[in-house]
Structure 1
Amino acid sequence: MTTFTVNGRTHQPEGPSEMPLLWYLRDLAGLTGTKYGCGLGICGSCTVLVDGQAARACLLHVGELEGRAITTIEGLSADGMHPVQLAWRALNVAQCGYCQTGQIMQAAALLAATPKPTDAEIDAAMSGNLCRCGTYPRIRAAIKLAAEGGEA
């Protein structure tokens, strides 16, 4: 049986080891903040952190996660006060909002690895996260705001 942590809590999923992490999180763990988008790993809606690195939950199988630490949007900050979340709210980034949890998780991973990213670094890191509403300028501005440690 595979054992891993999700948001600091130990999980031992029962069932097939090839179950996608996305379905485990949503259907069995009750963590519905991680969204299903394409199921192919190209839209980024299901982005979570695995050992601090952005990863697509639709492409990971629970059997591959032995000993790993998964963080979902629910675990990014217990009170919603992570700098990226604060910046997102300050700049009203979300429009329809569907992709935003994946965007936020990708941005959090970027800032953990590169605390003061350039526009090019932001664009490169975020290029795999799609937004049908086209909020890309607000996403970039929010990442820059979070990097500065401020609120608008």
Structure 2
Amino acid sequence: MTADRTVAPAAAIRINGVDCPVPADPRVSLLDLLRETLNLHGTKKGCNQGACGACTVLVDGERIVSCLSLAVQHAGRSVTTIEGLTDEARLHPLQQAFIEHDGFQCGYCTPGQICSAVGMAAELKRGVPSHVTRDLADEHVAPSHDEIRERMSGNLCRCGAHNGIIAAIRDTYAEAAE
């Protein structure tokens, strides 16, 4: 009697609503899959060590740094990149707010900042605390300046657009809280 060595095909990763095959090489990072295989260049490779946040994407609605995550870990999951936040008709409200508040200079960190802020808003809605949080029991309260700065601290902007970034996030999610 021989063992059946049939291997089930790897599950796909749903990226921006499209099923994509899991790479055959288990060493491929999610970031490299996005940029090098799928040509989704919005997600940036900054430090490639998880310290800058330029590669932040959403996996099942939660923000992660894609450079530290292997693509195979996301089989059967849903990944949203900056390209997947908008439809062809209009920008995501946060993308529009970044434009209105001049939330970018060079723009390199912008995709990661926006994806991180979308994930941050979901965390606030779920009541996930931070070091600054006093009380998130009222989910209709807009996040404070300090709350946003704390929650976005994993996303670095080297050219100094932090004030515009914070203003864009605050205004976007203040309107959502009303």
TM-score in terms of structure 1 length: 0.92
Q: Does 1:131 align with 2:141?
A: no
Q: What's the Cα RMSD here?
A: 1.5
Q: How far off is 1:2 after superposition?
A: 4.0
1:3-152 matches, within 5 Å, as: 3-79=12-88, 80-114=90-124, 116-149=142-175
**Could you tell me how far 1:114 is from its partner in structure 2?**
2.0
SS in 2 for 1:95: coil
Identity percentage of aligned residues: 41
TM-score (norm 2): 0.79
Residues 108-144 of structure 1 show CA distances to partners (whole Å, capped at 9, x for unaligned) of 1112232522222211111010111111111110001
CA contact (8 A) 2:30 2:67 kept: yes
Q: 1:58 is paired with a residue of what secondary structure?
A: helix
8 Å CA contact retained: 1:40, 1:58: yes
Q: Does the 8 A contact of 2:43 with 2:56 survive in 1? A: yes
State the structure with bigger RCO (CA 8 A, min sep 6), 1 or 2: 1
Which runs of 5 or more residues in structure 1 are unaligned?
none
Tell me which amino acid in the other structure corresponds to 1:125: R
**CA apart distance, 1:14:** 3.1
Query: Aligned partners of 1:62 and 1:14: how far apart in 2?
Result: 7
